Chain A
């Protein structure tokens, strides 16, 4: 039996649940992961990613030396077209005189000084020439709070731009805008551990068992052991449907009519909590007037959900003692994502299921630190702590904190993720710095994204692997994964938890915060600035600087979260944290009802493209795949599969396991078909983790007008039979009992 050299407590790097992990380390190798059974977040339970999915750390393809393209290193002019390349070239060919053997786009390993000086010079050059609007950055929902704080500080304080965003834009942007508008705060209102106190749960557009597995366990416990009732609203027959009282299989993109018809029933049948509506909300009368046309029958005609089931769902939710709503991407990833989220918020307002323990509105955050990255100001409209950048007093506070001259910071709202790339052209955005994200997998309509990324003048990738996006970069900076750095993550229920270094950085890789501070000092020298502080002793000091300005975090110190994380807001050193929000009032005062209209999805089906494609995730994989495709997780689920309903499969002559070509107006992929009743008639599902069959080649880049979130959940596609030889990797076959 192995004795570990040390056991290190830390926080899981995958989803927003934020499970506590114990890494068992021997000879700087993590051989086992466990979780303490008294862990507040996950009570000792983990999922496959948390327990087994950390081995990407040791993958031979992990980059552990800074890389620079040959043309940059040799001081040549940048060739016209950007080349996507994932392989590192042999250093011995560095000064090859044979032009046939050398290529301008070769990746060459260099030392840190060379790489960072190049990045600093190039960024400073572009900034001096084209100004703030040419600069942009993608922060990272997987990196720590401290890493994100530093990166947005670097671009705001040194390059005076608010072109700062991260993948929250592609995730819960619709929910965030809706929650801000309706109640003035965008975080999950309750604690995951309150799930077991719900007596009615409504799960909308969230495949919780695969994407937040530990929260799904708590839901199952509430149902099986405590008699709670579950309503699932989802176009797919997800695992949770087996535990549900009611399943409302709506057509993708019809959330507003279905949810608003529930509001119609609640009002019509006198199930409104008038006391709550009167005391805590405004706009009720107007809203009720707007409900007239949203009868359950009307909703049925659009969504396909039987009117009677909508009535039952409305009665069940409204008559709950503690009703809570949990939702995921099925609500927000639509061109009317904001409206969809508002439709959910209305249900909580009408019934008063918010502001008490075990009730609430809970957008389940995807990434381990998407909450934290948003809190740290990795967004184009906000400084850390959701302080608007166009507010003079906010800007002044950060100017003081960062040593920027008064009036120095930009007051203009920056560009969002998708907008940054769309503006990549001469006269627009010229430089992009990507920390740990993978837009070449996560953006919609990838063929278009590819053109944009090729139009950039200078691209830096800071990551673990040369992923599909880093493969386009000019310089690659090797960062460290969660197990090789210190810091904090903030989970879906606002709990700030410690991340701890378990082993030294592999090779020459460096923790993100160190890379950023080192780079910032080099940029400062070139811009002749020396007032901004970058000499932190470590992440703890970075956090303290942030907490000294943002009141929500004023009471959080590393010392206080040594054992157990605290849920912000934590107003002072004595404050115990805030398990649930909105007990007495909403941050904006009263909650606002907003009358809604039904807006169909942007691309309806037709004879040419008769299926609705909806995209999503799998238990075994994670987003763009940078981590999980370099892990044994990939052996468990090595290929993308398109789910097709048996009735549709029969018409199109498709059998289970057969190769099929899925095409949209924007692209095509070849994958095997899963013929399964997990999906509904007319709807096909494709996971988006697999680069060799990237679902986002098909998706449409239509945006929600307010939140700017793309419509990942609905576009029109056709499915044709194909040959096995058309598959990118016919050897890879998923053979699993549960799929």
Chain B
């Protein structure tokens, strides 16, 4: 009863409901991902996982499109490679990817040029340090939505994070831009755990990166007094 399709010329049989991303994986073919995560619902936001399906006008996001009988799929056609390269170049032109080794590796692999769009407006947001547990640096945010998802029905049912703004102005935010302690946040850090770009980071990791020693961090974070907001 399996679904039979062809990926990169290779015949593959999968269960109904299998996405093209999973089908490729079963065939031993790696399709790159950025916003996709095993523990969150896929919404095809970043489009890095696009593949070319014969007979379909547009490239198809592998993370949500399900395999169908007789599909002929190419995961690395010229069109696919060009699309991925452009996506990476657009990301690099506006977002600080210095903490995203996986994306930087993809850029190397696809020969993406960070300087391709010199006129692009860079996303520059002030580092947010409003709670004792983690920092938010949305200059590094690629809007993958994972943090919003795990805060909502993919894990926590806490709904502290959401979107604000539209179009290019879109960013991850709390309601009315309240500081994290003033929201419904339970500080579970699931958002930190799924962030692919270091936009969300445990405070102690950040302090260590800043060159502070373990002893210094321990003393800093042992103060009983709380910053008044």
Contacts and interface: CB of A to CB of B under 8 A. Distances in A.
Contact of B219 (A60, A220, A733): A60
A60 B215 CA distance: 8
Interface string A20-53: 0000101111111111010000011111100110
B198 A732 contact: no
8 nearest A-B pairs in the assembled complex, by CB-CB distance: A58-B218, A29-B214, A51-B189, A48-B187, A635-B132, A632-B132, A737-B182, A31-B205
Contacts of A636: 131-133, 181, 187
Interface string B198-211: 10001111001100
Given A636-B187, A737-B181, 16 more contacts: A26-B208, A27-B214, A28-B214, A32-B202, A32-B204, A35-B193, A45-B190, A47-B186, A48-B188, A48-B189, A220-B157, A731-B226, A733-B228, A735-B182, A736-B182, A738-B186
B185 A737 contact: yes
Interface string B210-229: 00011101110111111011
A2 B101 CA distance: 11
Contacts of B39: 37, 43-44
Contacts of A396: none
Contacts of B188: 45-48, 51, 213
Contacts of B209: 1-2
Given A1-B99, A2-B208, A635-B132, A217 B224 contact: no
Nearest to B190: A45
Nearest to B189: A51
Contacts of B19: none
B218 A59 contact: yes
B205 A735 contact: no
A94 B229 CA distance: 45
Nearest to A736: B181
B224 A732 contact: yes
Contact of B217 (A24, A47, A58): A58
Given A46-B188, A60-B219, A737-B178, A34 B193 contact: yes
Interface residues of B, number: 47
Nearest to B99: A1
Given A1-B198, A35-B193, A217-B156, A632 B221 contact: yes
Interface of B: 38-39, 98-99, 101, 131-134, 153, 155-157, 178, 181-190, 192-193, 198, 202-205, 208-209, 213-215, 217-219, 221-226, 228-229
Interface string A716-739: 000000000000010111011110
What is the predominant secondary structure among interface residues of chain B facing chain A?
loop
Contacts of B205: 2, 24, 31-32
Given A2-B209, A45-B190, A638 B218 contact: no
Contact of B221 (A48, A55, A620): A55
A636 B183 CA distance: 12
Interface string A631-658: 0101110100000000000000000000
A411 B217 CA distance: 52
Contacts of A26: 208
B51 to A, nearest CB: 24
A24 B209 CA distance: 14
Nearest to B223: A635
B22 to A, nearest CB: 15
A8 B224 CA distance: 29
B153 A224 contact: yes
5 contacts: A45-B188, A48-B187, A217-B156, A225-B153, A638-B224
A630 interface: yes
A387 interface: no
Contacts of A729: 224
A634 B156 CA distance: 22
Contacts of A35: 193
Given A217-B155, A737-B184, A58 B214 contact: yes
A88 interface: no
